[in-house]
Structure 1
């Protein structure tokens, strides 16, 4: 079978530079508001639960610019905008209609009659179809099926969501045999998106880690994309980028849990219109460029804990940079960012997970060649351990506090 036959004829094999080119992901605010209004509309006589009514009211306030846009609305707008551009969207997972954390609610239920309503299929007259499936409790079977879906129709955004990222281990065979290497073995490309809820929040070893380190260990020859995001707008652009480029590579997202409702984890509407996806988010304070002697790199949820810690710290002049995309690794961009802090002698990598897990090994390998002779790369995180997370909440909280203090150069 030819790699780019039939439905794949308009696509091609990417070069390394292709991954760092900007894709046409921004959408005008007026269009976002139109889509947002349509996906919140229910038919006459349709009665939603009062909590859903509150959710819709909150989203309306976000679309009016009265509140920041949260993660679930950003996702809904990404889906809706792609549908309006003719791209089908299919989302499957063990609790994907509602969302594991009761954040999505992309299917409305009439509490009087039990009738279901999929507003995504009624945005406009001519649009693509939206399909969401609550899959069976077998990650191996469901992930394999969704991989096949992504092969059959590359014009469709196909997503598989784990209930918790930890559960992807039951689908590891599909990851190892197909997702990470089908292009290398058989020239079969896939645009499948894996959403793996990830983050250390005191829920124990089975509900904390999407095993980021396993995906990073498999990264080579531009075979997959691995991301851990910190803003809803970044998520919006990332999802749209997946089908608006002229190539398909699997995307692994360490998706959020507590950030779904974190008051600081919001984006302004202009962020969806004016900028695209950024592999790294620099500290927004330019005054730190010429005086920072220590910079912290991190990824995902820990950023907001570091942000809070910095506000209380004795030395608040420590820039915090966010790694949004681990792989493909934009070496040129990292070199420029490090050079923009000429006085920095301590380059800290901060993570929540154990030293032998998460991003440390990968980042150490990729950052070390970029450091100057006067610079030292420092690890801050949990010590190496067999289990991905602490079993007791008090231990978790103690470690989180220690990690934040150590990253910011304060004794604890």
Structure 2
């Protein structure tokens, strides 16, 4: 009855027109004419809007950074290596300072160490790999914007992209001395939602720039979940809107507790479909170097989600050589550098747990296990995994190893892909499912970590 009464009730326009007519202020015929003219005005505006949309879509399809066919990323391999000459030209801009500028003595020692590593051509750590990626892109004319709560120094005191002279509070950004494109480093406020939203918009307007948002810890990305769900993961599908935004999310289980361990890899993987995202967990400085350069050099724009390490920033084994940057490119899967002569157990893993597994294999004097790193979860490189499985003699025992609890991390995503690719069901080695990402006790963490490493070789 209520709905019938509402439907029978005169509209606001009808009531107002009736009052005007009764008051004699507007003839009835004139009201009808006004109504007709307004309808024509609205119809015309709608037609213009639809025509403008058609033109915009057509233009975006012509735009090299607009909507493109993207059946597989491996159909669009772009060169990301740089010449030794270019590296030699840009590298000093990572550590040189003006004569009248004196950085903190501790920072000066870090800069000297970086310089020595570059001159040796080996032992490039994470900071040097990232810095060389930035420097090479700037020299090639690609602007860079990097924002986040502590990006100038780096949350884990590894970047030091902006230096400070303690004697006079002067600041200096070595990369700004390159003279190429502009680099913008912004220590932003602690509002992931606002800052990530701004940087997403920035990436739309600057498709030729490397636009990066870095979380202080990857765990804090959940404060910007609306931007991730509504825009970053789905804007291309909903609105043909492409973005090359990069998210650097520190991720790794080192016993720092449930609020400082997980960037929620599983949540990003759940969002993956229709080639909408690139989700990677690089385990070497060279891999990061090529991934960042690939983001700008590619013929398409896709958001890049990077699970970045913490303990690997200064890990003695997590290093690259100059030749890793001057040749090759990003590898979605890294083969075992020292595979077993006869592989009986194939371990698949991602991130820093690889180095723990490698050390455990050596300690165990294991000669029948090969370890392969999944560096890119999505899009998943099934072809390379299949080739490596064949190359290692088609071992029947394939084990997925992860730091995260069973209901988190990469397991739920990769297990069906591994089974589909290799036609066998992978085994799981890792923590039990949990409501919290990690335990709060360092002692318990160490027990769990040792147990999952043991599982990897015994399950």
Q: Deviations over 1:6-45 (max 9, x none)?
A: 8983324141234454321101223212211123221121
Q: Is the 2:418–2:425 Cα contact (8 Å) retained in structure 1?
A: no
State how far apart, in whole Å, the 2-side matches of 1:174 and 1:370 are. 33
- Shift of residue 244 of structure 1? 0.3
The gaps in structure 1 that reach 5 residues or longer are none
What is the SS of the residue equivalent to 2:250? coil
Structure 1 match to 2:390: 339
CA drift of 1:52 comes to 1.2
Normalising by structure 2, we get a TM-score of: 0.85
1:272 — aligned with what? 325
1:391 aligns to 2:445 (yes or no): no
Residue 127 (structure 2) pairs with residue 72 (structure 1): yes
Correspondence for 1:253 among 306, 310, 315: 306
Query: What CA distance in whole angstroms lies between the structure 2 residues aligned with 1:147 and 1:219?
Result: 18
Change (3 A) 1:223 1:34: same
**Given that residues 151 and 187 in structure 2 are in contact (C-alpha distance below 8 angstroms), is that contact kept between their aligned partners in structure 1?**
yes
Query: For the residues of structure 2 that align with 1:334 and 1:308, how far apart are their CA atoms?
Result: 23
1:17 alignment counterpart: 72
Q: Which has the higher contact order (CA 8 A, sep 6+)?
A: 1
In the alignment, is the contact (CA less than 8 A) between 2:246 and 2:304 conserved in 1? Answer: yes
8 A Cα contact 1:292 1:344, kept in partner: yes
Offset, 1:122: 1.3
| 1:110 and 2:159 matched | no
Looking at structure 2, the residues matched to 108 and 7 of structure 1 have their Cα atoms a distance apart, in angstroms, of 43
Aligned length: 404
More helix by share: 2
Deviations 1:378-407 (A, max 9, x none): 011001110000111111000110111110
Deviation string for 1:227-249 (max 9, x for gaps)?
01110000000000000011100
Distance 2:72 2:433 in 1: 35
Out of 234-243 and 46-55, give the one that drifted further.
46-55
What are the within-5 Å matches in structure 2 for residues 9-408 of structure 1? 9-12=63-66, 13-19=68-74, 21-65=76-120, 67-124=122-179, 127-286=180-339, 288=340, 291-372=342-423, 375-408=424-457
Are residues 214 and 29 of structure 1, via their aligned partners in 2, closer, same or farther at CA, if it must alter by over 3 Å?
A: same
TM-score by length of 1: 0.95
Q: Secondary structure at the match of 1:319?
A: strand
Answer yes or no: is the 8 Å Cα contact 1:3–1:188 preserved in 2: no
Q: Which runs of 5+ in 2 are unaligned?
A: 1-52
Superposed CA deviations along residues 203-259 of structure 1, whole A, max 9, x for unmatched, are: 000000000000000000000000011100000000000000111000000001010
8 Å CA contact 2:121, 2:322 repeated in 1: no
Q: Rg larger in 1 or in 2?
A: 2
| 2:415 and 2:425 in contact (8 A); partners too | no
Q: Hey, what's the Cα distance between the residues in 2 that align with 1:314 and 1:77?
A: 37
